[in-house]
Amino acid sequence: MSSKLIAPSVLAADFANLQRDVEMINNSDADWFHIDIMDGVFVPNISFGMPVLRDIAKHATKTIDVHLMIVDPDRYIKTFADLGSNILTVHYEACTHLHRTLQAIKAEGMKAGVAINPHTNVSLLEDTIKDIDLVCIMSVNPGFGGQSFIENTYKKIKQLKEIIDRNSANTVIEIDGGVTNKNAKQLVEAGADVLVAGSYVFKSEDPIQTIAGLKEMIS
């Protein structure tokens, strides 16, 4: 992927002004909407579910990148396709039959992503990498926005890049958690293609400008 992408995480939006924040992303230099779905079981937090995603999708004019932090995600693949997801990312740690899950996601017309927790070694993706459209390397422990970036992520990006190149795969590398202007450039230099940013965007004074700044930094 030549141009690098920014995906604001809607988890950090103001849910009482959700349409305003969705329109902000539509009107910004952001490339994707990143949507965090948490079930309170796979991660110790519950975010939001189908009705909220349905309403976001009604207004969003950009790619919808759904990050499922739920157990047994196979149960909801069709539902998320019907709700308007373009990319559906499941957690490696939540899938017993990852290969089957990836095929099921693609059969519903979506791109298939796999997220890995900070403790999960990227080498575990070697045998499925050609079937994976996107790997989301978690640079925080999933479950909450606003956490500090884990520095070991740079090493994981480089290792994953080697696996992708060795297998001639077309997999995109996404980094999720603690992304700011302090690490964005270095992440892209290490091999990242998509940066998810939640708090850094939404807690800033001017989110449109913050997104533009991030985008410029990585172009």
Ligand X SMILES: O=C(CO)[C@@H](O)[C@H](O)COP(=O)(O)O
Residues lying near ligand X in the complex (CB under 6 A) are found at 9, 11-12, 34, 36, 67, 69, 140, 142-147, 176-179, 196-200
Catalytic: 176?
Answer: yes
67 is in an annotated binding site: yes
Per annotation, catalytic residue among 21, 36, 65, 133: 36
Catalytic: 65?
Answer: no
Angle between helices 207-218 and 18-26 (to 10 degrees): 30
Q: How far is the CB of 4 from ligand X (least distance, A)?
A: 16
H/E stretch holding 136: strand 134-138
147 binds, among ligand X, Co ion, none (CB under 5 to 8 A by kind): ligand X
Q: How far is the CB of 166 from ligand X (least distance, A)?
A: 28
DSSP state letters, 68-133: EE-SSGGGGHHHHHHTT-SEEEEEGGG-SSHHHHHHHHHHTT-EEEEEE-TTS-GGGGTTTGGG-S
* Residue 133 in contact with Co ion, rule: CB under 5 A: no
How far is Cα 153 from Cα 155, in angstroms, rounded to an integer?
5
* Residue 193 in contact with Co ion, rule: CB under 5 A: no
Query: Which residues fall in the annotated binding site for a divalent metal cation?
Result: 34, 36, 67, 176
Residues that are catalytic: 36, 176
